[in-house]
Amino acid sequence: MSMYGRSRVKVPASTANLGPGFDTLGMALSLYAWIEMEESAETEFHLYGDEMAGVAKDKSNLLYQVAQMVFSEAGVTIPELSITMYSDIPLTRGLGSSASAIVGGMAAANAMIGSPLSNAQLFDMATALEKHPDNVGASLFGGIITAVWDGEHTDYIRIEPPEELEILVVIPEFELSTSKARGVLPSQITVGDAVHNISRTSLLTAALAAGRLDLIGRAMQDRLHQPYRAPLVPGMEKLLAEATGHGALGIALSGAGPTLLCMVDRQESRKPELELFLKQTMEEHGIPARTCWLLPSSSGVVAERIEINQMQNESFLDMIKGEKHL
């Protein structure tokens, strides 16, 4: 009954800032959400996965909302949608779940109607919603993104992540909203702190582009947001100070937190020691936490449209079977 067909999307999680690159640097991670979208007689939601509990199942749902923005931008009207989603991306932990939903929902809606909007247009629209381009850029394009938003338009360069790079995250069992973690930031900083961050962000970007893993630890230092956010995440100060002594190349708060993210050389022999150090430090501070090994995701969002006359039989849940889950 639909003239538009069904879209299927796989979208990666992301980490933002990488330490000093506040609201600028992002990296896609090998942790994913999958979305299916098609026109329907009435709007309905099929949400799977532990992370989906509590997500709205009415037209206030973020996927529904961003889909309508895409339709409106493209000049089409599709008021009723069937939306299916499975996500492994923890909510409000600093792993870009809202950016993944925005990018995934936009890509699904765009693919459904034959992809009239370019990725550059989707990037501008997604950044206008998030107010910073780091997470949405990474989810959209994959790899490592350095981006600038002027309030209307985003300019960016995508960097292919160094092959030797592996990621270890420690995810505390508590939620921290981005607005709370932004609320503790100062409105003014010294020129000294600004120079500290500009120089390290530049060095980190160049080191990642050049594959200079030896420079990552020193380049990941930050004075712009992490010192102010540390009181919100018990154990963070110790982790930032000591993780490189346990085998991490560098460590940072992932986005607005509370997850912390270590960059690790794949060849590193002390991986179990590092994992134990992260978990034990959180526990010492009374915070249950889980660790997870990930890779940078080279691919960003992937969207396909399935025409009605060649609708595949593979079910949504079959599609995500065999993929890595948290």
Positions touching ligand HSE (CB under 6 A) are 16-17, 22-23, 132, 134-135, 178, 181-182, 225, 255-256
d(CA 309, CA 150): 43
Please, what is the minimum distance in Å from the beta carbon of residue 91 to ligand HSE? Answer: 12
Nearest Cα to Cα of residue 159 among 18, 303, 324? 18
Please, what is the minimum distance in Å from the beta carbon of residue 304 to ligand HSE? Answer: 28
To the question of whether residue 99 is assigned a binding role by annotation, the answer is yes
Which residues are 28's β-sheet partners? 14
The Cβ of residue 87 has, within 10 Å, a number of other Cβ atoms equal to: 26
Q: Judged by CB, which is closer to ligand HSE: 134, or 166?
A: 134
Strand ranges (E), the chain? 6-16, 25-39, 44-48, 81-87, 144-149, 154-159, 165-172, 250-253, 260-265, 289-294, 302-306
Q: Judged by CB, which is closer to ligand HSE: 225, or 246?
A: 225
Please, what is the minimum distance in Å from the beta carbon of residue 125 to ligand HSE? Answer: 17
Q: Judged by CB, which is closer to ligand HSE: 17, or 146?
A: 17
To the question of whether residue 91 is assigned a binding role by annotation, the answer is yes
Which 3 state secondary structure label does DSSP give 236?
helix
To the question of whether residue 90 is assigned a binding role by annotation, the answer is yes
Q: Judged by CB, which is closer to ligand HSE: 102, or 207?
A: 102
To the question of whether residue 234 is assigned a binding role by annotation, the answer is no
- Answer yes or no: are the C-beta atoms of 103 and 141 closer than 8 Å: no
To the question of whether residue 97 is assigned a binding role by annotation, the answer is yes
Please, what is the minimum distance in Å from the beta carbon of residue 131 to ligand HSE? Answer: 9
Residue ranges for the known binding site for ATP are: 90-100
